[in-house]
Amino acid sequence: MRLIPTEEQRELGASVRAFLAETAPMARVRAVAESDEAYDARVWERMAGELGLAGLAIPEAHGGSGAGHGEVAAVMEELGAALTPSPFLASAVLAANVLLAAEQAGDEEAAKDLLPGIAAGTTVATFAVPVKGDPVTRARESDGAYTLTGTVRRVLNGAEADVILVASVLTDEVAEEGLGPLAVFAVDASAAGVARTPLTTLDLTRPQARVELADAPARLVTTSGDALARTLDLSAVALAAGQLGGLRRCLDTIVEYAKLRVQFGRFVGSFQGVKHRLADMHCTLEQAESVVRYAVWAADESPDELPVAAALAQSYLGRAFFQVAKDHLLLHGGIGFTWEHDAHLYYKRAKGDELLLGPPRDHRARLAERLDLIV
Amino acid sequence: MTDLDEYGRRARAWLEANASDLSPEPDLRTARAFMAKLYDAGYSGITWPAEYGGQGLSAAEERAFQQASRGFTLPIGVFGIGFGMCGPTLVSIGTEEQKRRYVRPLLRGEEIWCQMFSEPGAGSDVASLQTRAVRDGDAWVVNGQKVWTSVAKQADFGLLIARTDVDVPKHRGITMFIVDMHDPGVTVRPLRDMSGESHFNEIFLDDVRIPADRVVGEVNGGWSAAVTTLLHERVSIGMGATRTERPASFGPLAAAARERGTLGDPAVRDQLVELYIRERALDLFNARLAQELKAGIQPGARGSVSKLLLADLMLHGADVATEILGPDSAAHGEGDRQDDLIARTLAMAPGMALGGGTNEIMRNIIGDRVLGLPREPQVDRTVPFRDLKVGTQAKEAGA
Ligand SMILES: Cc1cc2nc3c(=O)[nH]c(=O)nc-3n(C[C@H](O)[C@H](O)[C@H](O)COP(=O)(O)OP(=O)(O)OC[C@H]3O[C@@H](n4cnc5c(N)ncnc54)[C@H](O)[C@@H]3O)c2cc1C
C-alpha cells in the first residue's frame, strides 16, 4: 500500500498549479462562472495541448499518455483547489473511464472511435452518472440500431459536451417497471431527439444540464455490469481527490487569515475558540488525505480493494470537505458572507461535490453492502 | 513474495507458536518472560539502533510486525511507557553510558519504566512543577510529589523532571533525571481509577539521592528533554493504537450485531458504518505517517493529531458499542464476556483523552506547532519561577 505520492505525481501537481495560477486565477474563475461560458475554452485547449491533460489517463494507443489514477488524482487536487471550471472531470475522467472499462470488458469499438478525440481535447465527452432514485432512460433496439428515450436529470457539462454517455435499461430485457441491467450508450449531443436545458447550479463553476432524449440515436458502448461498477468507483475516487484539493485550500486560506486578523488586540487565531476549530479541521485534512491516497492506490494497484476504498472515499470526503468549507467561511466573519469573497465559492463547490454522485447516504449504503452488513 | 511479506509471515508464525493463549494483563512474571522471548526472537525494538540492543530495522518491518500481531493480545501494556516514551528519550538525548546501560534491559522486559511528570499542582502546565532537586556533592537530592504515574508500582526506573533553579522562568529551571524506583526515599501509592483498578499511582520523593551521571540531557535543559518525551508519547499512543483489536471496534461489534439479530436495523447499520469510516481514516493516517517517517519526513507535532483522533475514537467507539449491544452492556451476568468487556472499555475510555495531554492541549499543540497559529498571550514565560502563581504554590505562600 502506498500512501505518499510519487515524485512524478508531485511534479505534475506543481506544474498544473503553476499553470492554473497563471491562466485561471480566482478573478478569471469568477468571470467564467458568472458568464454564459461553461469554461474557458482557451485554457482548456492549453490544458489539453501543452499539458496533455485531456489524454492523461488514456493509453498511448488511443492518443493519450497512459498515466495512472495517481496522476489523475494529482490533477484533480489542483483543479479542486483552484475551482477551475473545466471539462477535465467530465471528459478526461468520467467519460474516459467508462470507455476504458468497456474496452477492458471486451467492448472495444466505442473506445477506439471516441478516445482519440477525448485525448486530444477536441471532443468533449461526459458521462451521466446514474444516481439512485433518478429516472432511468430506456433503450430500444431495432435492426441492430439503438434509440434512447427518457430524461437524464443532471449531466455534468451536459450542455457543452459533444458526446454524452448514458446508462440506460434495455427495454426488451426487462419487464415493464423492472430495473434490468444497465448498459452504457453514447449519444451524439447534436443528434435529433436530444434536448438539453442548462440547470441553475448551486456551484457556478460546475455547470450541469438536463438532457431529454426522445428516440435519440445511440450507440451501444458496453453491457458489462462490471465495467459500469468499476467506472462508478473510479469516478468516486477522482472526485474525492478534487474534494481533497478544495478542502486543503480552504484550510490554508483560513489559517492565513487567522494569523492576520486582529480583534480584542489579538490575532483571532490565538483565541482557542478559533484555534481548536482549526486544529479539528487539520485532523480532518490529515484523514481525508490518507483516505484519498489509499483509494487512489487501490484504483491503480488493488482492484479487489477498490469497491470498499471508493465508497469509503466518498463517504468520508463528501462530509469532510463540506464541513471544512463551512467552518472556513464562518471563521472569516462577515466578509465570508459576501459575494465578492471566495469563501462561498468553496462552500458551494463542497456541497455540489458532496451530492454529485449521490448524497452521502448512498455511499454509506454502498459501504454497508460491501462490508457485508446488509442482511 | 517480497522480503517484507516474508518478514510478516515469519512474525505471524512466531506469534502463533508463542502468543496464542495470552491474557492481556497477566502477572508480571509471565509478562516479563514473554518480553524476553519476544526480544530473543528479534521482535522487540525492531526499529531501535542495533548498537544499544535494538534490531536496527525500518518502520516498514515494524508495521509488518504490527499487522502480523493483529488479533493477538500481547501482554505488553506494562512496558508501554518504557517503549513509547522513556526509551526513545534515552536514545535521542541520553549519554552513551546511559544508552548502553538501560536500553537493552528495557527492550528485553527486564526493567520496567515509568514517567514522573505530573504533579498535584502541575498537569497540563507541567512546566510549573514544584518537585525540587538540589545539588549536593556528586549527587542531586530530590523532594516532592508526583501523581497519576502509570505503572510506577511495577517500575524499576522512572524518568523524573524536577526544578533545579527557581530564579529563572519556569521552562528554564527544570532538569530530567533517571530515578531508581527501589530507592528507599521513593514511596509509591496506588490510586484507584474509575475502572475500579489501579493503573496509576502517587509518588512521594523524600531526600532521594540521584548520582549526577543520571541527569538526562542538560542541567536546566529538562524542558526540552520533556518535550522530546511527550512528542514520542503522542506518536506512540496514536500510532500504537491499532496494535491489538479493541473490543469496541468495527469487527467485533459487527459480529455481535449479526449474532444478536440487530444488523437489520438501519440505525445500527449506520452506526457501524460510521465506526468503520473513523477507524479506517485513523488507521490510514497512521500508516501514512509511518510511510512518511520511512521516507525521512518527521511527524513532529503531527503525532498529536493521531493522539487526539484516537482519544475521540475510543470515546466514540465505547459509546456506540453500548448502543449497539443495548442494556446488556450496562447490566450483565457473570459469563457475558463481550458485555463485560464493553462496560470496562467504556469505563477506561476517558483515560485516553486525559493521559498524555488532554484533548484541549492536543488542539493547542496542533494549532501552535502544526498550523503555526499565534500563541495565546502568556504571563508565565518571563517571570522567575519563584514569583509565579502556580498550582498550589500561591496558596501555600499566602498561608
Ligand atoms: C490514565 C492516565 C494515565 C496517566 N499517566 C501519567 C504518567 O504515566 N505520567 C505522568 O506524568 N502523568 C500521567 N497522567 C497525567 C496526565 O498527563 C494529566 O492528567 C494531564 O496532563 C492533565 O493534567 P491535570 O490532570 O492536572 O488537569 P488540568 O491541567 O488541571 O486540566 C483541567 C482541565 O483544564 C483544561 N486545560 C488546562 N490547560 C488548558 C489550556 N492551556 N487550554 C485549554 N484547556 C486547558 C484541560 O484540558 C482539562 O479539561 C496520566 C493521566 C491519566 C488520566
Is residue B235 scored above 80 in pLDDT?
Answer: no
Provide the mean pLDDT of chain B: 91
What pLDDT does B378 receive?
87
Is residue B393 scored above 60 in pLDDT?
Answer: no
pLDDT in tens, B17-28: 998 887 767 889
Extract the runs of DSSP E, i.e. beta strands, from A95-179: 125-128, 137-142, 145-156, 163-170
What pLDDT does A180 receive?
67
Q: Which chain B residues contact residue A289 at CB under 8 A?
A: 285, 288
Residue B320 near residue B271, CB atoms below 8 Å: yes
A362 alpha carbon, distance to own chain's centre: 16
Q: What are the structural domains, with CATH classification, of chain A?
A: 7-120 (1.10.540.10), 125-223 (2.40.110.10), 227-370 (1.20.140.10)
- For CA atoms A218, A219, A225, A230, give the dihedral sign: negative
What pLDDT does B241 receive?
47
First-residue to last-residue Cα distance in chain B? 72
Could you tell me the CATH superfamily of domain B4-107? Acyl-CoA dehydrogenase/oxidase, N-terminal domain (1.10.540.10)
CA distances (Å), origin B173, targets A133, A355, B222, B278, B384:
67, 57, 8, 42, 9
Mutational pocket test of ligand 1: of B125, B157, B358, the residue with most ligand atoms within 8 Å of the beta carbon: B358
Q: Which chain B residues contact residue A317 at CB under 8 A?
A: none
Q: Which residues contact A96 (CB under 8 A, 6 or more apart)?
A: A57, A58, A64, A115, A118, A119, A125
Q: How far apart are CA B317 and CA B324, in angstroms?
A: 10
- Interval B149-171 mean pLDDT: 97
Residue nearest to atom 51 of ligand 1 (CA): B355
Which segments of chain B does DSSP mark as H helices, in order? Answer: 3-18, 28-40, 59-68, 80-81, 87-93, 96-107, 222-240, 250-259, 266-294, 303-325, 337-352, 359-365, 393-398
Per-residue cell: A134: 433518478
Residue B374 near residue A270, CB atoms below 8 Å: yes
* ipTM (interface pTM): 0.95
Residue B330 near residue B322, CB atoms below 8 Å: yes
Nearest chain B residue to A362 by CA distance is: B270
What pLDDT does B398 receive?
42
Nearest to A160 by CA among A78, A86, A216: A86
Give the residue numbers in A contacting B (CB under 8 Å), as ranges.
1-4, 255, 258-259, 266-267, 269-272, 275-276, 278-280, 282-283, 286-291, 293-294, 312, 315-316, 364, 367-368, 371, 373-375
Residue B246 pLDDT grade (very low, low, confident, very high; cuts 50, 70, 90): confident
Is residue B125 scored above 80 in pLDDT?
Answer: yes
pLDDT by 10-residue block (mean), chain A, 375 residues: 96 98 97 95 96 97 97 98 98 98 95 97 97 94 94 97 96 61 95 97 97 97 95 97 98 98 97 98 98 98 97 98 98 97 98 97 97 93
First-residue to last-residue Cα distance in chain A? 31
Nearest to A139 by CA among A177, A167, A100: A167
Domain ranges, ordered by start, for chain B: 4-107, 113-225, 245-357
Residue type, A367: L
pLDDT in tens, B182-201: 999 999 999 999 989 999 99
B245 is catalytic: no
Residue B262 pLDDT grade (very low, low, confident, very high; cuts 50, 70, 90): very high
Pairing label, strands A125-128, A163-170 = parallel
pLDDT in tens, B290-319: 899 888 898 889 999 999 999 999 999 999
φ, ψ dihedrals at B216, nearest 5°: -105, 125
* CATH placement of domain B113-225: 2.40.110.10
Nearest to B157 by CA among B197, B207, B98, B198: B98
Q: How far apart are CA A238 and CA A79, in angstroms?
A: 11
Nearest to A24 by CA among A49, A48, A41: A41
Q: How far apart are CA A251 and CA A282, in angstroms?
A: 7
User: Is there an atom of ligand 1 within 6 Å of B150 CB?
Assistant: yes
In DSSP terms, which residues pair with B139 in a beta bridge?
A: B136, B211
B189 alpha carbon, distance to own chain's centre: 20
Is residue B240 scored above 80 in pLDDT?
Answer: no
Q: Is B120 exposed, middle or buried (0-12, 13-18, 19+ CB in 10 A)?
A: middle
Angle B153-B154-B159 (CA atoms, 0-180°, nearest 5)? 80
What pLDDT does B238 receive?
58
Per-residue cell: B183: 530507592
Q: Which residues contact B80 (CB under 8 A, 6 or more apart)?
A: B150, B151, B236, B240
HSE of A164, CA atoms in CB hemisphere, 13 A: 36
Q: Which chain B residues contact residue A276 at CB under 8 A?
A: 360, 363-364, 367
User: Is there an atom of ligand 1 within 6 Å of B158 CB?
Assistant: no
pLDDT in tens, A259-274: 999 999 999 999 999 9
What pLDDT does A189 receive?
97
How far apart are the CA of B287 and the centre of ligand 1, in A?
28
